[in-house]
Amino acid sequence: MVLVAAVARNGVIGDGPRIPWRLPGEQQQFKELTTGHVLLMGRTTYESIGRPLPGRTTVVLTRDPDWTAGEHADVVHVVHHVEEALALAGRLHAEGAGDLVVAGGAQVYRGLAPYADRQVVTEVPLEPAGDVHYPPIDPDEWVETSREHFEHWDRVSYDRR
């Protein structure tokens, strides 16, 4: 399992459901990293996107037992607990759906971080206002394994120690 996030210097990943920056080319990198995999996100993150992303199996984690993906309910899997998300991802992976990629938000990252093997973080060189933060990366648990510099950000991979 890999956690994927764009994180500002101050730890901000969002301002409500909105991402407080635009990084040219970063969304293409996200697409390349996640296509062919199981993409898990929280309800607010899913609703901010508004639809399942093509080429990925979408799983939405929500506490709301009545929530559905509306017109996309036939292609979006809905789970209500971390354990349910992990079990579903395991079944989907066994069926060839790829690895589990976690794409936010903050509560989902915190809930699944203990199970992750890897993190891929886009370091955003800004300090925007925002109320959604990525959990700190503990250097006792994670080691930086690669860093790729782009014009407006760095993409950093971490593996669990």
**What does the mean pLDDT of the chain come to?**
96
The mean pLDDT value for 105-133 works out to 97
More confident residue, 40 or 16: 40
The mean pLDDT value for 92-111 works out to 96
The Cα 4–Cα 157 span in angstroms is 9
Coil, strand, or helix at residue 25? Answer: coil
Is the pTM value of this prediction over 0.75?
Answer: yes
Report the pLDDT value the prediction gives residue 8, as an integer from 0 to 100. 98
User: Token pair 């079944």 is at which residue?
Assistant: 91
Residue-wise pLDDT tens digits, 33-77: 999 999 999 999 999 999 999 999 999 999 999 999 999 999 999
User: Domains plus CATH for the chain?
Assistant: 2-160 (3.40.430.10)
The Cα 99–Cα 89 span in angstroms is 8
The Cα 48–Cα 43 span in angstroms is 9
- The one-character DSSP state at 98 is -
Q: Which two tokens stand for residue 62?
A: 């929500």
Residue 60 vs residues 11, 85, 90, 105, 133: alpha-carbon distances, Å: 23, 8, 15, 11, 19
Pairing of β 154-160 and β 57-61: unpaired
